[in-house]
Amino acid sequence: MPGATPMGSTPAKYFAGTLSAGKTEIPAHVVQAVTGHLDAELRKRGLAAAAEDGNAIRIDATATYYRMRSGFSRMMVGMLAGKDGIKCDVQLVDKKSGQAVGQFQVSSYNLTAVGGEDDVARMLATEIAKALENYKK
């Protein structure tokens, strides 16, 4: 399994690379929110690489879907207005070689009338971190 660690070795450490919009339009503040939440999730789970770690794995993501209801739509129609969400293809890239060492897809959706862009960004970062934890097992 890409990203898996052999018995007795140190688990991989990661750092947030880029989140590109792909064919979708994602506001810059949402991209920054995802990156900030991902950094926090990596630290919280013990997966964050030190700046000088030459063996770190860069996390790059390309959004394949993005939708955010307006606050007015959420307030007036609630769940009937559809769901907010982000779906991404994530690629893991070795810092030393620049070669891809793994990939997976993640998505995050908010069906409720409560919350907004930051909540979806936080949930996406959490899903990426969960996937990375499974890689190290």
pLDDT tens for each residue of 22-57: 777 888 888 899 999 999 999 999 999 987 788 899
pLDDT at 119: 83
pLDDT of the residue at 54: 84
Closest CA to 74 of 114, 27, 25: 114
42's tokens: 């990596």
Q: What is the pLDDT of residues 82-118, one digit of tens each?
A: 567 889 999 999 988 999 999 999 988 776 545 667 8
Going through 2-136 in order, the beta strands assigned E by DSSP cover: 14-20, 57-67, 84-94, 100-110
Helical packing angle, 117-136 and 28-44, nearest 10° = 40
pTM assigned to the model: 0.78
Q: Where are the domains of the chain?
A: 14-136
Class level of CATH domain 14-136: alpha beta
